A and B are shown apart, each in its own frame.
Chain A
Amino acid sequence: GQQVMQIPQYQHVQEGEDFTTYCNSSTTLSNIQWYKQRPGGHPVFLIQLVKSGEVKKQKRLTFQFGEAKKNSSLHITATQTTDVGTYFCAGVGGSEKLVFGKGTKLTVNP
């Protein structure tokens, strides 16, 4: 079945450093979404990408959708302690269901 893999599983950075998480699908995706889950919280929608090669920005966050629509990335510039949490990608492929990756847990050392 459809699988969505995320790497790395964990990332620890110093405040001010950049951070990137990568998402790869076993199948072509019609769209991909990114969610953030704070420690002890619930997933919160960040953004959706639908077009091949699409790039979207939200302040210090940059989201990309690959040309083949099978991969995506989230890049955070100059991390802050408020960026702490787990970042999930979720994609819709052949299964016609939104399948979540296992997430990348980001910790930021002040």
Chain B
Amino acid sequence: DAGVIQSPRHEVTEMGQEVTLRCKPISGHNSLFWYRQTMMRGLELLIYFNNNVPIDDSGMPEDRFSAKMPNASFSTLKIQPSEPRDSAVYFCASSLGAGPGETQYFGPGTRLLVL
């Protein structure tokens, strides 16, 4: 199994630009999670989907952030417009079941730098 796939692995952009992060979960997994990791705040859950439906987006920082999961094998996290404080590592993770206690498998992350 290829594991969770994320692209791009690195992104450098200028303030005000739109950024789109992509994730392909492990085949057969029903839940998908987007996290943001920074030194100051640690790992923060932004949003999670179950069977392609957003279940909890209370962690999404503000309206500049949006996430979609059009099908079971693809999700995007979009930031528009981006700001320097959005610089972080963004992880996508997937789990087999729907419960919050399921083991989560993380992708390699996208390292985002907004100048």
Contact = CB atoms under 8 A, between A and B. Distances in A.
Interface residues of A, number: 20
Interface residues of B, number: 16
Contacts, number: 43
B101 A31 contact: yes
B48 to A, nearest CB: 8
Interface stretch (B22-30, B74-82, B102-110): B102-110
Interface in A19-52: 30-31, 33, 41-45, 48, 50
A54 to B, nearest CB: 14
B84 to A, nearest CB: 22
A108 interface: no
B109 to A, nearest CB: 5
B61 interface: no
The 8 closest A-B CB pairs, nearest first, are: A102-B42, A42-B106, A100-B43, A31-B101, A92-B101, A92-B100, A45-B103, A43-B106
